[in-house]
Amino acid sequence: MDFERTNAHNKYTYSGSGVDVTRNDEFTDYIKQVVKLPNWVMKEPTGYATIIDLTTPPIVVTSDGIGSKLLLHLENGTLNEAAKDLIAMNYNDIICVGGVPKAFIDYLGVHHIDKQHYDFIRVLNEELGKLDMSLVAGETAEIPAIYTQSEWDVAGFCIGTLTHRIPVETIQEGDVILGLPASGFHSNGWSLIRRILQKEKIQLKMFPFDLLAGTQIYSDVPKIFYLVKGIAHVTGGGILRALRRVLRENGYSINIHLPNYMKWVLQYVTTDEALKTFNMGYGMILVTSKDNVEEVISQIGGTIIGNVDSAKNIVIQ
C-alpha cells in the first residue's frame, strides 16, 4: 500500500482544510451559555445525546449528518454507504447514553428533486429496517439559490428510549478500556481526507481497502449496557476527544494497533493531528470494570486497548 507523494515535504492539517475544531468548540460553549435547559432534561455529562424526562421511559434525541464525505458518495454512486453513515452517526450517539434508537427523521436540502434522492430514501429506509427502526417523518427542501445542481446535503434526527443510564460518574482508576473496531474513517475528518486525495492526485481505485465504507453501526452494544460504565462514539475531535468525553477528569494508558487506512493517512498527517481528527481504528470505546471485561468481550467482541489511570499516555503500534 505504497503511495508516491507529490508533496512529500508537506504535512496536511484539518484546519488547513478549512475545518477548525477549536472554533467549533467555542461555538458549542456559546450555545451552552445562552440556552438554559429545562428541568425535564436529565443531566448527561458526555453530551452525545439528550435525555428528555417527560415520558416513561424517558426518550433520547440527537442529530447529525454525513459531512463532506457525502460529496465522494455522490461522485462514486455509493448511496447505500451514505445511508449507513447517516444512520450510524445518530444511532451510535444515542447508545452512548444508554438509549435504544427507534425513530428516524431526515432533512434533505437539494437544488431540485431527482432520481438520486428517490434512491437515497429507498436505501435509507431499507437500512433502518435492518435495525428495527422506522423513518417516521422528514423534510425535503428545494433551494436552488443555495445548492448547486450536482450537490445536496442531508441531516438525520434520531429518537430512542432510555433503557439503562450509563453511570460514567463511577469510572475510576483500574477500569478497563475496550475498543470496538471501526469500518474505516467513518464520517469525520473528510475535509482533510479529500484535500489529501486532491493534492496528492490519489484515486479511490488505488486503495486496497474500501475508503468509502459506511460507518459501523454498533447495534450489539445495547446488550451490554448493564456491564459498562462508559461508552464513547469516536467522532469529531478524534480519539482524544472521545476519551475526554467519557473519562472526564480521569487519565488513561492505551495501546493502538493501526489498521491499513490509518497507516495510509499517517503518511500525510502527523500523529498528533491524527489523534485529534481520526478514530485511529476504533469507532467506539467502552469502559468497564475488570470483573466485567471478559463478559463484555464474549457478548460483543472488542479488544482491550488500555486502562483508566492518572496518566494520559497513548502508544501507537
**Could you report the per-residue pLDDT of 44-103, keeping only the tens digit for each?**
999 999 999 999 999 999 999 999 999 999 999 999 999 999 999 999 999 999 999 999
**Would you list the domain boundaries of the chain?**
37-162, 168-316
Residues of the chain with pLDDT under 50: 4-6, 8
Q: Which amino acid is at 289?
A: S
- The neighbour count for residue 53, using CB atoms within 10 Å, is 14
**Could you report the per-residue pLDDT of 234-244, keeping only the tens digit for each?**
999 999 999 99
CA distances from 179 to 100, 238, 243, 255, 297 (A): 20, 13, 11, 10, 10
Give pLDDT, residue 3: 52
Task: Provide the β-strand partners of residue 233.
Answer: 284
Task: Provide the β-strand partners of residue 114.
Answer: none
Determine contact, residues 68/191, Cβ cutoff 8 Å: yes
Give pLDDT, residue 317: 87
Q: Which helix (DSSP H) or strand (DSSP E) does residue 303 occupy? A: strand 303-309
Superfamily of domain 37-162: PurM-like, N-terminal domain (3.30.1330.10)
Question: Could you give the CA distance from residue 278 to residue 186 in angstroms, rounded to a whole number?
Answer: 9
The contacts of residue 90 (CB under 8 Å, 6+ apart) are 62, 63, 64, 101, 104, 156, 157, 158
Give pLDDT, residue 256: 96
Question: Could you give the CA distance from residue 243 to residue 251 in angstroms, rounded to a whole number?
Answer: 9
Q: What topology does CATH give the domain 168-316? A: Phosphoribosyl-aminoimidazole Synthetase; Chain A, domain 2 (3.90.650)
Helix (H, G, I), strand (E, B) or coil at 181: strand
Taking the C-alpha atoms of 247, 293, 283 and 45 in order, what is their torsion angle to the nearest 10 degrees? -30
Question: Could you give the CA distance from residue 188 to residue 236 in angstroms, rounded to a whole number?
Answer: 6
- The neighbour count for residue 39, using CB atoms within 10 Å, is 6
Give pLDDT, residue 5: 46
Q: In what order do the strands lie in the sheet with 228-233?
A: 228-233, 282-288, 176-181, 303-309, 251-256, 312-316
